[in-house]
Amino acid sequence: MSQNPFFNSWMKMDLGKMPANAPLDMRGFMELGRKNFQALTEAQQVAVESMQSIAQRQAEILSQIVQDQSSMVREIITEGTPEEKVARSADLIRKAYEKGIHGAREVSDMLNKSGREASDIINKRVASALNEMKTTATESKEQRKASKDKSAA
């Protein structure tokens, strides 16, 4: 369950205390809202966990870049002629560039995956909520009609 005290108190709410003559099935709509809130909480949790993973991966990539740059400088300084240094530095810069692009793509893929997962949770809940709303409204209408028919008889 969530660590959010508001959410936890919402989960414990006694929906049985709603007035019996309410125009709509308030318990159903309250339950609908609770499920919506729960889905948003789950989507937020996915997003937070993903952002933590992304930040960790970015730190790893940055650390690797710093190490690579240090070794690149050492290699360029210690090698032979100026022509050899230029040729070697061009090769090392190309490799560093390719690593940087690979790291950026990796982080981008992580972001896309996170967004998809959070969107899937919300989209699934929206579809369910619309069906539940329709069902709740239909049932409420039928209950009121049955109640009127019963009182008229």
Decide if 79 is inside a domain: yes
Q: Is residue 65 part of a domain?
A: yes
Q: Is residue 41 part of a domain?
A: no
> Does a structural domain hold residue 63?
yes
Residue 47: inside a domain: no
Alpha-carbon distances of 80 from 88, 118, 139, rounded to whole Å: 10, 54, 85
Whole-number pLDDT of residue 101: 94
The answer to whether residue 76 is domain-embedded is yes
Average pLDDT of 42-52?
95
Residues spanned by the domain of 102 = 52-116
Q: Quick one: pLDDT at residue 81?
A: 82
Alpha carbon distance 93, 19 (integer Å): 73
**73 located within any domain:** yes
d(CA 84, CA 97): 20
Token pair listed for 57: 């991966």
Please tell me the total count of domains within the chain.
1
Query: What tens digit of pLDDT does each residue of 86-133 get?
Result: 888 888 889 889 999 999 999 999 999 999 999 999 999 999 988 988
In a domain, 42, yes or no: no
